Structure 1
Amino acid sequence: MSALMDNEFANDALILIAHGSTINTQSSAPTRALVEAIRGRSIFSEVACAFKLEEPKIEEVPSLVNSQRVFAVPVSISEGQFTEEIVPLHLGLRNESESEYSRKGKIKGKELIYCKPVGTHSSMTSVILSKAADIVREYPFPNMPRSEETTLIIAGHGTQQSANSRKAIEDQVELARARNDYFEVLPAFMEETPLISECLEVARSRYVIIVPFFISDGLHTIEDIPVLLGEPANRVRARIESNQPTWRNPTERKGKLVWYTKAIGNEPNLPEVVLDRVREAAQ
């Protein structure tokens, strides 16, 4: 990743932008933690966050800080509808009728620079593979499977509203395949084919590791996907209510021994990814 020059952004503000949730406030926790981690490094004059569904809101970004130059980084997985349509609209960088827009603009007297999302950064493949390796190392029962006899499934949301949402997952699948670490690497989606609910039948190995390519451990990762993988919904809800993991590693389902990781939002290198996105946009 790019090295940051001393004081290069000392007069600038950084705003991390995420979706947020009205149902599960923990979904914004990784973004808020990321703000604190970057703020503690004293690289920017100001560091804050904004959300679509939580406070402060995305449209408030120019008034959240005093700095004249503001970098906005979407803490999201893909260049999908949220990142490329909703956020620029709320930031004031595009109109609803526009399909093209500039990632730089003068908004309410501030120079606003809209960066690429963290999820499309080149380091994400290593993050996914690290998640997969760590989960079987942490839960090796009955024996830690060798990667060459294991299927890796990268799971995402998928949506008919934006092809780019799917593309982020498929790109990571191709990049992970190129490493030749696993017996096979497959994509799976909540709302598109190939479906997560059918991925265990598709996998050709006895051992399966599933990495949810989401930023936060929100309702999709802790509730929806375990149910799609075959966990009874009432059992998942009971585990949530008692603050237990909703997937026991490994769990046998459909003749496969399945490990399921957490989302990627707590990865220690995410501050570096954010800083790299800022540096790219500043050039």
Structure 2
Amino acid sequence: MIERLKQTTLIIAGHGSSKSPNQARPARKHAAHIAKKGLFADVKTAFWKEDTRLKDVLEGVLTPEVVIVPNLACSGHINKVVIPREMGLKGELTQTNTQRIHLCKPVGEHEGLPALIAKRLKEVMQERDLAPKDTTVFLVAHGNPNPDRPASHDTTVMMATRIYQHYPLHAILPAFLEEKPFLKGWSKRTTTKNIIVLPFMIAAGTHGARDVPRFIGVEPTEKQSMEMRENAIPAGPFEVEGHHLWIMRAMGSHPTIADFIVDIAEERLSEVPY
């Protein structure tokens, strides 16, 4: 496998945003971390709505194999439609005269993610002396009002259940920005004293930094936002309708995500004979 990786280019693919450069930062940081290890011939990032573009990233890539790992929470429209369309792929395996291009499952489907989230939740709660029985966690995803695109909803509901299996507390409830159950209605769904809001967004961007606080009725200071983004220090506590509320950084920025990306790439290559 080591020799095969040395002949493989890893591409970390994502959505990106022309309005929110922070959305691409986690992918770029993970790429830089992986590149330093020297596992692959090259490590690149590519985005739908930000440079380097998905449609351009394969130009000049000459390695015999290319592995694309979507830096996404679930296998939805972007993973199944946008990335193949923009990159000219034919599915999970695209064979050209000189290359084999592999499209992998997204980072959000790595089997280690529920345990990683549970571990971070436990750390945050212990640091703040929050009792599990008195704490509700809202796992927040974008969601999609289109019933034909249920991936975000279904993945988030499943993830909430799996996190709870690793770290049972009062409740871990899914909530969404654009479909029911809406994050805006959070206060009607729990009576616990402590509330933790955790964006289930691999690249938080505008949604994690601006929309999530707005939807729950709080406004972190500039310092709180910076410390949450750069140092993973939860913003809070905010006093809202009798609750003590904290907002955590999206888990997509956690350093272990880089290891998950490598795992997914290696798993894909091991499934397809050289």
8 Å CA contact 2:118–2:167 kept in 1: the answer is no
- Counterpart for residue 201 of structure 2: 214
- Counterpart for residue 170 of structure 2: 183
Give the aligned residue type for 1:186: L
Matches of 1:134 and 1:10, distance apart in 2? 37
| Residues 38-117 of structure 1 mapped to structure 2, 5 A cutoff | 38-94=34-90, 102-107=91-96, 109-117=98-106
- Counterpart for residue 99 of structure 1: none
Tell me, what secondary structure is at the counterpart of 1:86?
helix
In structure 2, relative to structure 1, the CA distance for the partners of 1:70 and 1:172 (3 Å cut) is: same
Matches of 2:33 and 2:162, distance apart in 1? 29
Matches of 1:279 and 1:248, distance apart in 2? 36
Matches of 2:6 and 2:100, distance apart in 1? 15
Tell me, what secondary structure is at the counterpart of 1:61?
coil
Give the aligned residue type for 1:195: F
- Counterpart for residue 152 of structure 1: 137
Matches of 2:212 and 2:192, distance apart in 1? 20
Tell me, what secondary structure is at the counterpart of 1:23?
coil
Matches of 2:133 and 2:199, distance apart in 1? 20
Matches of 2:177 and 2:49, distance apart in 1? 21
Q: Pick which of 128-137 and 56-65 moved more.
A: 128-137
- Counterpart for residue 230 of structure 1: 217
**Structure 1 residues 153-190: Cα deviation after superposition (integer angstroms, max 9, x where no partner):** 11100003410111110111111233352111110000
Give the aligned residue type for 2:217: G
8 Å CA contact 2:177–2:183 kept in 1: the answer is yes
* TM-score under structure 1 length normalisation: 0.86
Matches of 1:183 and 1:224, distance apart in 2? 25
Percent sequence identity over matched residues? 24
Matches of 1:158 and 1:267, distance apart in 2? 22
1:122: how far off? 1.1
Matches of 2:212 and 2:157, distance apart in 1? 18
- Counterpart for residue 270 of structure 1: 257
1:62: how far off? 2.1
Structure 1 residue 174 corresponds to structure 2 residue 161:
yes
- Counterpart for residue 130 of structure 1: 119
1:64: how far off? 4.5
Tell me the matched-pair count: 264
Matches of 2:104 and 2:60, distance apart in 1? 18
1:15: how far off? 0.5
Unmatched tracts of structure 2, length 5 or more: none
Give the aligned residue type for 2:110: H
8 Å CA contact 2:65–2:101 kept in 1: the answer is yes
Unmatched tracts of structure 1, length 5 or more: 95-101
* TM-score under structure 2 length normalisation: 0.89
Matches of 1:243 and 1:176, distance apart in 2? 27
Matches of 1:248 and 1:280, distance apart in 2? 36
8 Å CA contact 2:139–2:174 kept in 1: the answer is yes
8 Å CA contact 2:114–2:166 kept in 1: the answer is no
- Counterpart for residue 256 of structure 1: 243
Matches of 2:3 and 2:99, distance apart in 1? 20
8 Å CA contact 2:9–2:42 kept in 1: the answer is yes
1:84: how far off? 1.1
Give the aligned residue type for 1:32: R
Matches of 2:124 and 2:133, distance apart in 1? 16
Q: Pick which of 72-81 and 260-269 moved more.
A: 260-269
- Counterpart for residue 28 of structure 2: 32
8 Å CA contact 2:69–2:107 kept in 1: the answer is yes
